[in-house]
Amino acid sequence: MTRLLTAAVLVPLTWYLCKRAPFPAFLVAALVVVALASWEAYGLLQTRGSRPFRSLGVLLCLATAWGFAAKPAALTPLAALSAAAVLVPVGVLWRRDDPAAMLDAAVTTVAPVLFVGFTLGHCVGLRAVAGEDGSDLLMLLLVCVALADAAAYYVGTAFGRHPLAPKVSPKKSWEGAAGGLAGSVAGSMLAHFWFFQRLSVPHALAIAAAVWAAGIVGDLAESAWKRAAGVKDSSALLPGHGGMLDRIDGLLVAGPVLYYYWRAFLAA
């Protein structure tokens, strides 16, 4: 029940921010999500004994994600990543005493910048596409990922027999993955017939398959982080859903996949 109540709040809020809200309002909300998810990612690393520069890392995650929408053009994701390449080595040389600690701090500070800030920035990049294409692309992504996740959960619970990745996430099954593909296809068809009618059926189906596969990779990657940290959820922020990172893990790879699919095949 708690899970459903949380979803009842998040679903309409997400729809409004992604589809109807002015871009600055969406950007603020997206950066809040990036900040929370990256903070949790650093928390997982700290739980397993690492000592990243957490505050600096969150700021770099925010700068990287913001770079997908920022103007002027000099403020790009590449600029933020370049800043990370300078600031992190300076920080480890200044604040860590031995080479092993330096290496650990450098790697664990940069990892969430790439795993969270850079990947989620592609969702900002989708919403920043001019006209209705931006909001429609982002909604297409969210609908496919959400329905794939829901279908995988219910099909896997009812029929799951063959583990998908037992060392990382023992409860996920191939049967659930197949259900997730059906859910993603249903999401793309819903988008085609409802709010994204100019998206052709072949493209909708190709996107559904690509987003489904990418969503599984993102989900399993986040599960690996949690398993390495020995925790079930990234946090208890969202009642019944775990943490913010748990909620957006399917977007971590799916967002970039759709972004570059759009650039390669759909952008004018």
Residue 131 pLDDT greater than 80, yes or no:
yes
Is pTM, for the whole model, over 0.85?
yes
Q: Burial-class residue 217 by CB neighbours within 10 Å (0-12, 13-18, 19+).
A: middle
Radius of gyration of the chain (CA): 19
In whole angstroms, what is the distance from residue 173 CA to residue 159 CA? Answer: 9
Percent of the chain with pLDDT over 90: 80
32 φψ region: left (φ > 0), alpha (ψ -120 to 50), beta (else): alpha
DSSP per residue, 229-268: HT-SSS-SSBTTTB-HHHHHTTHHHHHHHHHHHIIIII--
Give 74's pLDDT tier (boundaries 50, 70, 90): low
Give 11's pLDDT tier (boundaries 50, 70, 90): confident
What's the whole-number mean pLDDT along residues 145-151?
95
